[in-house]
Amino acid sequence: MYMNQYQTKALETAIFPDEDQTVAIAYLSLGLCGEAGEVANKIKKCIRDGNSYSGIADELGDVLWYIAVLAHYLEADTAMDLNDIAAKNLYKLSERAKRGTLQGSGDNR
C-alpha cells in the first residue's frame, strides 16, 4: 500500500468534534502527541520488564493514522501529500548522511 492510499483510507475513519479546520488540526496534533506518548510508555515498560516489543506495532499504527490525517488537513498550507512528505524526509536524511551530519541537533545540519 502506498502512503497516499493509506491516507485516503485513514480519512474514511476520521471523526472530529468540530468542522473547523483549525480545531481539526489542533485535535489531530494532540492525538498524535498522545499516541506517541503511548509508544514511549510501552517501550519504557518493555525496557523495565524485559518484554518483547511486539505490542508496539498497534501503537505505531495509531501514530501513522494521526500523521496521515493531519497531513491531509495541513495539505492546503504545505502543498504536499503524504507521499511527498515521506520522500522529502528520506531525501533530507540521505543528504545529511552524505554530509556526515545525521547525528547532532537542529534542522540545518
Residue appearing with cell numbers 516489543: 53
How many beta carbons lie within 10 A of that of residue 94, not counting itself?
11
pLDDT above 70: residue 109: no
Mean pLDDT (whole number) for 18-22 = 85
Grid cell digits, residue 71: 497531513
What pLDDT, on a 0 to 100 scale, did the predictor assign at position 107? 74
End-to-end CA distance of the chain: 32
pLDDT score of 60: 97
101 vs 109: CA distance, rounded Å: 6
Where exactly are the structural domains of the chain? Answer: 3-80
Describe the crossing of helices 3-11 and 56-78 by its angle, rounded to 10 degrees. 90
Q: Which residue has the higher pLDDT, 59 or 104?
A: 59
Q: Show the cell assigned to 7.
A: 491516507
